[in-house]
Amino acid sequence: MGDSAQEKQKCAEQLTNTATCLPYLGGDAKAPTSDCCSGLIESLKNNKKCVCLILKDRDDPDLGLKINITLALGLPSLCKASDNFSQCPEFRLPVMMSK
């Protein structure tokens, strides 16, 4: 079973500090704002599960979000966040062994 609508709504409410990222994530702004970056850094620290859930369900019409996943995955780097989405199970990339 998927995540409940109630859980998604709760996460959306907890991530209001990242709302300033939506113009960038939707492709309407050329760069994230400083408010976006500070909100993202705080959310990665305190609500990483919710960040992962919202990105995973970004196409859910009930959320009403327009998120370009390529822009979203690059956002931590642009914001110089010490964390990224690598711990989100949905976005783990295969690691190549060099042995």
Q: Which domains does the chain have, with CATH numbers?
A: 3-91 (1.10.110)
Contact in structure between 8 and 60 (CB atoms under 8 Å): yes
Residue type at 30? K
Render each residue's pLDDT in the chain as its tens digit; 99 residues. Answer: 456 778 877 887 888 889 999 999 999 999 999 999 999 999 999 888 888 888 888 888 887 888 999 999 999 999 999 888 877 876 654 444 444
Using CA atoms, how far apart are residues 20 and 6, in angstroms rounded to an integer?
23
